[in-house]
Structures are given as C-alpha cells and as structure tokens.
A = this chain, B = another copy of it.
Amino acid sequence: MTDPIRLGIAGLGTVGAGVVKIVQRQADLLAARCGRPIKVTAVSARSRDKDRGVSLNPYAWEDDPVALARRADVDVFIELMGGSDGPAKAATEAALAAGKHVVTANKAMLAHHGQALALAAEEAGLALRYEAAVAGGIPVIKALHEGLAGNAITRVMGVMNGTCNYILTRMELAGLSYDEAFAEADGLGYLEADPELDVGGIDAGHKLSILASIAFGTQVAFDDMTLEGIGRISIDDIRQAGDLGYKIKLLGVAQMTGRGLEQRMTPCLVPASSPLGQLQGGTNMVVIEGDAVEQIVLRGPGAGEGPTASAVMGDVCDIARGIILPVFGQPASSLKHAPAAMAEAPESYYLRMELLDKPGALAKVATVLGDSGISIDRMRQYDHSGENAPVLIVTHKTTRGDLDAALSALPGTGVMVGDPVALRIVDL
C-alpha cells in the first residue's frame, strides 16, 4: 500500500480544479492519512487553456475523457463532467471496463443509470463512489451507508438544492417576488444552464433517489418520484406560512411504508423553529431517521469548490485506503425494485386560494372539502383589499387522494380565481 494511487480527472470546472488544489496543497497530509501518496497523473476538459487558478503542467492531457479513463497510469477515474448520459456515462463505463475505480459527483447519471453502473463496478470488484453527488461537502453517503448501517432507516429528508433555498430565503428576508429572487440567483450564477433542474426540483430529486436507494435497499427509482418545483410559491405564501409558524422549503422526503416506497421532492411547510426551518441560503441539510439512532441532522455547504472537492477527496482517500464497498449499501444484485407507493402517508396541508368576492363563496369551498372527507383545522380570509378574497386553509391530516379529489372539484364551485396552491406540512 505504499505505491501512489494515481488519479485521472475528467472535468476541470470549479470542482475539478478544487480537487487538483487539494492534491497539491495537502500531499503530506493525504499520504499520512491514506498510507500512500495520492497523485494526479492525467486530466481532461473541454478547454485546455482556461485559467483555473492551478497549474496543470505536471499532468498528461487528454482531449477525450474515454481515453483518460483507459490510461494505464490511472487507478481512479474522477468524473466531474456532469450530465446523465453522453461523455460522462461513456467514460465511466470505459473506466469500469478497464478496471479503474470511479469517483463521481454526477447525481443525474446515478439517478438514471446507478443500478447498471453499480452492477458493473461490483462485478469487477471496483469502487464506484459519489459522496460529492449529494449535499456537497456533507459526508451524508458515508453516514447513511456506513455509520448508520446498524439501523433500519425509517425516513430520510433533506433540503439539497442550495439555489432553491437561496431563492426562498431571499423572498422571505428581502420581500422579493419569486421572479425577482430567481433573477437575482441567476445573476449570481447560481442556476444550472437549464434552470428547471434547480427550481423544478429535479436536481434535488436526483439526490433524494440516491439516498433512498441506500436507506431502503432498493434500486434507484428516480422516475417514481413525485416532483414539484418552487415556481408557484409566492411571497404571500411565505408570509402566510410565517404567520402560522412555518417556513417553506423545497424538501425531499423518502420513506418506506406499507404502501411501498414514497419519494417526493416538493415545497413543504416545516416548523420555523426546527433545524430545517432555520436553514438559510445555500446551506444543505439532511435528516436521517433510523429505528436505533432516532434522528441525525447533518448540515453543511451544498456546493462550491472546496466543499464538493472535499467530498470527492473523502472518496479518493477511502479507495487509497483499500476500502471497496457495495455501491448502494448492499450488493446491487440484491437491491429490490421497490413498488412506488400508490398512496402517500396522510399529512396536513396548507391551501391558499383566491375566491370571487361574493356571498357564500367560502361556504362552497368548505362544502367541497367536507364532501372529500377533508377536515379543516384553520380557515381564514385575509387582506381583503383587492378585488378577490384570498383564503388560507390548514387541513387536518388527509390523504393526497382525498386532497386531489377536492382540488379537482373546486373549480365546479364557480367561485375560484386561478388554481389553489397546496403545500404539505411536515412536522419534525
């Protein structure tokens, strides 16, 4: 174990450059901790000449990441290109086929092809690691996969898209509209090239699907996830939720119930005083609940050069130390295909809607809810200055099925203006 372990890095954006910096800066520390030196031998990226704040002269250059993945002088292929398919997938497959361990930060690739890649890695006796793919610098994969291995996990929750949390925080603290906060985040470069990946909950959903696989011993099932973005949240929702003692977060929840595997990434109300409620800006948080450990909360930076490179290097160090584990917590061949839950566990809901300002409107809405079996905890009409009457309703616990029935019946009342906003209330 005293030979150096040799890295080939494909993708030299923020994270790739961060990894190179750590390898250069912490050579002695890494060698002491891993029992062998860690060195970069070759790199690959779209542009060779870009200034990345770090010298790449010592390393061989490959234009083609697949060629990089196959180099004889590479032991660990580090995939930091992104994208669920294309070069990232091709190079990862090439690396595994060539007997290289793989470390990746690519949540999209794992969400869509995790099972096949895990089978390939495990068959070849190779490590496929991805701490950086979920919640940035927080070592949550390790906590769930290893530290909490003695637990039957009951629920995993997380705020795992810093951009969405930034937008929601700015709406709350600066009183911005969704469009204003979105524009601000865009100006700061926080948004993916396709913003829907962020604000539509897709990126965070990818991450949750990976956590769910480890937690419940099931194959990654991103396609079964309920996804809802933050685009319909208004400043009004944030204020009303605040009055009720809640914050609105894009919250992922995965739990195994008698009805199957429930996975959803949706805007929710969480108690303002809870750790999730107190989370601001780009910070991520993951909550893991297990039958023995009760509840663990992990909090840290969800993105950025240093934190994400830290996660990549944690994986590299494990590989250098000779640790090769099943990719998703147990052998991929033993992972069950979990049926998606046909019905979600009952929750309380926050409903906000605008009604025509005419006598009996509120009664009509209440009747529809009652007919759908939904019991009302609180209901109030507020801020009656405009043309319409905004109404806020908090329900008692109800099934999503009953709620959806009510939501489809509401337009029939003839008093609705636009569609209601319906958000789950998650008590922690």
Q: Are A306 and B325 in contact (CB under 8 A)?
A: no
Q: Say yes or no: A292 contacts B22, CB within 8 Å.
A: yes
CA gap between A304 and B291 in the complex, in Å: 13
Is the beta-carbon distance between B299 and A150 smaller than 8 angstroms? no
Q: How far is the CA of A298 from the CA of B137 in the complex (A)?
A: 12
Count this chain's copies in the assembly.
2
Determine if A369 is an interface residue (Cβ-Cβ < 8 Å): no
Contact with B along A278-319 (1 / 0, CB 8 A): 100000000000111111111111001011011111101110
**Total chain A interface residues with beta-carbon distance under 8 A:** 58
- List of B residues within 8 angstroms of A321 by Cβ: 325
Interchain CB contact (< 8 A) of A152 among B18, B26, B142, B295 = B26
Nearest B residue (CB) for A306: B292
A114 in contact (CB, < 8 A): no
A317: chain B residues within 8 A (beta carbon): 146, 149-150
Determine if A35 is an interface residue (Cβ-Cβ < 8 Å): yes
Task: Say whether A149 contacts B33, CB under 8 Å.
Answer: yes
Contacts of A311 in B (CB 8 A): 147, 293
Q: Is A32 an interface residue (CB 8 A)?
A: yes
A275 CB contacts on chain B under 8 angstroms: 275, 278, 299
Chain B residues whose C-beta falls within 8 Å of the C-beta of A297 in the assembled complex? 297-300
Given contacts A143-B142, A314-B149, contact A309 B292 (CB under 8 A): yes
Interface residues of A in 10-69 (CB under 8 A from B): 18, 22, 25-26, 29-30, 32-35
A291 touches B278 (CB 8 A): no
A307/B294 contact (C-beta < 8 A), A147-B142, A150-B313 known: yes
Evaluate whether A150 and B310 lie within 8 angstroms (CB atoms) in the complex, with A32-B217, A296-B138 already known.
yes
Whether B310 contacts A148 by the Cβ 8 Å rule is: yes
Complex contacts, A290 vs chain B, CB 8 Å = 310
Question: In the complex, what's the smallest C-beta–C-beta distance from A247 to chain B, in angstroms?
Answer: 14
Query: Nearest chain B CB to A18's CB is how many angstroms away?
Result: 7
A329 close to B (CB within 8 Å): yes
CB of A291, distance to nearest CB on chain B (Å): 7
Bound-state Cα–Cα, A316 to B149, Å: 9
Dominant secondary structure at the A interface: mixed
Q: Which residue of B lies closest to A294 (CB)?
A: B301
Q: Who on chain B is nearest to A329 by CB?
A: B33
CA distance A326 to B317 in the complex (A): 13
Chain B residue nearest to A309 in the complex (CB): B292
Decide if B298 touches A298 in the complex (CB within 8 Å): yes
Q: CA–CA, A147 to B321, complex, Å?
A: 12
Given the complex, which residues of B lie within 8 Å of A318, measured CB to CB? 146, 149
CB contacts under 8 Å to B, within A252-300, are 275, 278, 290-300
Is A151 in the interface zone, CB < 8 Å from B? Answer: yes
* CB proximity of A145 to chain B, nearest CB, Å: 8
Q: Does A245 contact B (CB under 8 A)?
A: no
Q: Are A300 and B293 in contact (CB under 8 A)?
A: yes
User: What's the minimum C-beta distance from A301 to chain B, rounded to whole angstroms?
Assistant: 5
CB nearest to A295 among chain B residues? B300
A25-B139 Cα distance, complex, nearest whole Å: 27
Interface string of A70-82 (1 = CB under 8 A from B): 0000000000000
- Of chain B, the residue at the smallest CB distance from A298 is B298
- Chain B residue with the shortest CB-CB distance to A279: B275
Verify if A334 is at the interface (C-beta below 8 Å from B).
yes
A131 contacts the other chain (Cβ, under 8 Å)?
Answer: yes
**Residues of chain A in range 114-159 having any CB-CB distance to chain B below 8 Å:** 131, 137-139, 142-143, 146-152
5 pairs from A and B in contact (CB 8 Å cutoff)? A26-B151, A33-B329, A34-B149, A35-B331, A131-B147
Residues of A within 8 A of B (CB): 18, 22, 25-26, 29-30, 32-35, 131, 137-139, 142-143, 146-152, 217, 275, 278, 290-301, 304, 306-307, 309-314, 316-318, 321, 323, 325-326, 329-331, 334
Closest 6 CB pairs of A and B: A150-B313, A139-B147, A149-B317, A292-B310, A293-B310, A292-B306
